[in-house]
Structure 1
């Protein structure tokens, strides 16, 4: 049985910003969702309240031992003013997988979906409708018990916040340069690489800084054991079009099981494009490039949807991919997936969930 969500509406609605000033994740809506956990009561007191700071004890375990997981998904405004969610049930299931790995009590998935819906309905006027725009949804869980002993927390808070975001590509989809990282390691099998937890992203920042200094927008991570098998690019999954086949790293336990990754694989197979999920070494990628078989590289994720790679930096060499432009397949995936998400194109996969009116 889904718990009743209490509602406290803001008395001071914010002024909505101009679309060209949105950027990504800098503006937040009028309300947020909260729910707390303690062993006797379980997850309780679900509530929508005005967006506001939260107060935590300085000894809250999240600050000291990193018990924190999160998700990211989007809501879209169609031309006829409907609001659509893209595969939210997959994000919620992945959130619980992350909770399990971080010893956080599982959330009731029906309750989370209802909370998402009610919060977005409450702030529905914040869902932008301009091309390329969307409402970014960030659910997350933090450990709140005030205690310094190294042990799983006995208290948690689940929060959902919303942020209207503009187009990831202000001037249209364009390729980026990526640096192949050979010194730092993101994750290893048996660790938390498959969980969407804050520490994974903190560990990636140093390599990202160095890549930026070298003129690259993203880091291509290699595995932490052999230092040769491709894993992810930045915070995205990665795909290689080699000849007539698209190859993406298999889910070995050290990389994130992306929702867009899964969607792209399904779309490609629907188009009768050969797809292989397997381990692929950076050596194989470079060799395919030298032999003229490497047609495209692209990353996939919620924020950008598709991020084409125009240049690969590896061991002091700069490899131009597909002439440095956006590949034909990358462009087709981007246009099709964003068309489905915004209701401009048919949804043969039944991915989109329409938000019921208030």
Structure 2
């Protein structure tokens, strides 16, 4: 155990959810992690305590100016072991997001040790049913009671855990996606490359319309020309075009996904051509009409690989692979989830075992 970490164990343990009744992100474990920050002290008092509500001043700056960042990663059960998938990349990204939001950086290696202690304490909460995992949510909020429009001088870093099932109710069934050409998610120079709260709540109207029209999510276009594909609300996006895999290039408004990174690395290992570039929705439509758009899939921590069977854009339906999962999408899903759960050899040293 880390020498400076205080652990207060919960004495009134919660019942675990039934194996077939694990909704996404609604059930939380018995313990949580907290660490505080003050300008003259840095990050201090790391502690694991029973999961409980927190108290904040009504003037806490998080409520007024939205200075917050978060991450999402998972722990997987592999027999008697618990595995984390590339967690160091999540903490690297958390610090990149913090820099954009003027939040002080964390010591990534130190917080990694705290996370491992927390997951080890809650190992009985990691479900074993195929397709399930323990979702991990680290986040930082500004806590200074101050209405000045300036960065806070105090913060809280917290980590909470939630056993989860599939993000999309249909599992690996290809989803329908609505192409959004009215609202804007992010622009270059904004906060699109950061994982921060406002990026998500500003998407709610578009998502509500997509759901009403029978779609599972929203595909965002660039905020300037409304032509170039960026990402899905909960995922990065890939297209298999005439044997080549194409994904929108990181441009300052697209989140740098860890699963996205892993997919690109796998494709290169498999000698499958993969290109990061601008992709317009008009190009996709034309490729589909010519029969060259072979597969589409989203990538992200929540869904891992989510095949896309249909894009709905300005009254046009872009049907992909006859609404069936593609061979490459399936292979990527099987490989990544196999590594995450220890069923496949981890040749890339992507997993970290929790004691």
> What is the TM-score with the length of structure 2 in the denominator?
0.98
Whether 1:249 and 2:248 are equivalent positions in the alignment is yes
Distance in 1, Cα, partners of 2:3 & 2:309: 49
The corresponding residue for 2:28 is 28
Measured at CA, do residues 171 and 289 of structure 1 come closer, stay the same or move farther in structure 2, by a change above 3 Å? closer
**1:233–1:299 Cα contact (<8 Å) kept:** yes
Corresponding residue pairs, total: 354
The corresponding residue for 2:72 is 72
Distance in 1, Cα, partners of 2:129 & 2:214: 31
The corresponding residue for 2:265 is 266
Task: Kindly state the Cα deviation for residue 287 of structure 1 after the two structures are TM-superposed.
Answer: 0.9
- 3-state DSSP class of the match of 1:92? helix
Moved more, 274-283 or 169-178: 169-178
The corresponding residue for 1:350 is 349
The corresponding residue for 1:297 is 296
Measured at CA, do residues 103 and 169 of structure 1 come closer, stay the same or move farther in structure 2, by a change above 3 Å? closer
The corresponding residue for 1:215 is 214
**1:132–1:168 Cα contact (<8 Å) kept:** no
Measured at CA, do residues 179 and 171 of structure 1 come closer, stay the same or move farther in structure 2, by a change above 3 Å? closer
The corresponding residue for 1:312 is 311
The corresponding residue for 2:321 is 322
**1:237–1:258 Cα contact (<8 Å) kept:** yes
Task: Kindly state the Cα deviation for residue 347 of structure 1 after the two structures are TM-superposed.
Answer: 1.2
Structure 2 unaligned blocks of 5 or more: none
Task: Kindly state the Cα deviation for residue 81 of structure 1 after the two structures are TM-superposed.
Answer: 1.3
Structure 1 segment 1-358 matched on structure 2, within 5 A = 4-78=4-78, 80-168=79-167, 172-356=171-355
- Alpha-carbon RMSD across the aligned residues, in angstroms, is 1.0
Moved more, 87-96 or 347-356: 347-356
Task: Kindly state the Cα deviation for residue 112 of structure 1 after the two structures are TM-superposed.
Answer: 1.1
> What is the TM-score with the length of structure 1 in the denominator?
0.97
Moved more, 44-53 or 125-134: 125-134
Task: Kindly state the Cα deviation for residue 211 of structure 1 after the two structures are TM-superposed.
Answer: 0.7
**1:131–1:167 Cα contact (<8 Å) kept:** no
> Residue deviations 1:59-116, cap 9 Å, x none?
10000000010000000001x2111000000000000000000000000111110111
Task: Kindly state the Cα deviation for residue 168 of structure 1 after the two structures are TM-superposed.
Answer: 3.7
Task: Kindly state the Cα deviation for residue 172 of structure 1 after the two structures are TM-superposed.
Answer: 4.4
Measured at CA, do residues 10 and 204 of structure 1 come closer, stay the same or move farther in structure 2, by a change above 3 Å? same
Task: Kindly state the Cα deviation for residue 169 of structure 1 after the two structures are TM-superposed.
Answer: 5.6
Distance in 2, Cα, partners of 1:45 & 1:340: 35
- 3-state DSSP class of the match of 1:21? coil
Distance in 2, Cα, partners of 1:164 & 1:141: 21
Task: Kindly state the Cα deviation for residue 171 of structure 1 after the two structures are TM-superposed.
Answer: 5.6
Distance in 2, Cα, partners of 1:309 & 1:169: 12
- 3-state DSSP class of the match of 1:20? coil
- 3-state DSSP class of the match of 2:20? helix
Task: Kindly state the Cα deviation for residue 203 of structure 1 after the two structures are TM-superposed.
Answer: 0.9
Distance in 2, Cα, partners of 1:226 & 1:168: 31
Distance in 2, Cα, partners of 1:170 & 1:272: 33
Distance in 2, Cα, partners of 1:324 & 1:130: 27
Task: Kindly state the Cα deviation for residue 9 of structure 1 after the two structures are TM-superposed.
Answer: 0.4
Task: Kindly state the Cα deviation for residue 167 of structure 1 after the two structures are TM-superposed.
Answer: 3.4
Distance in 1, Cα, partners of 2:49 & 2:206: 38
Task: Kindly state the Cα deviation for residue 130 of structure 1 after the two structures are TM-superposed.
Answer: 1.4
- 3-state DSSP class of the match of 1:238? strand
Measured at CA, do residues 3 and 228 of structure 1 come closer, stay the same or move farther in structure 2, by a change above 3 Å? farther
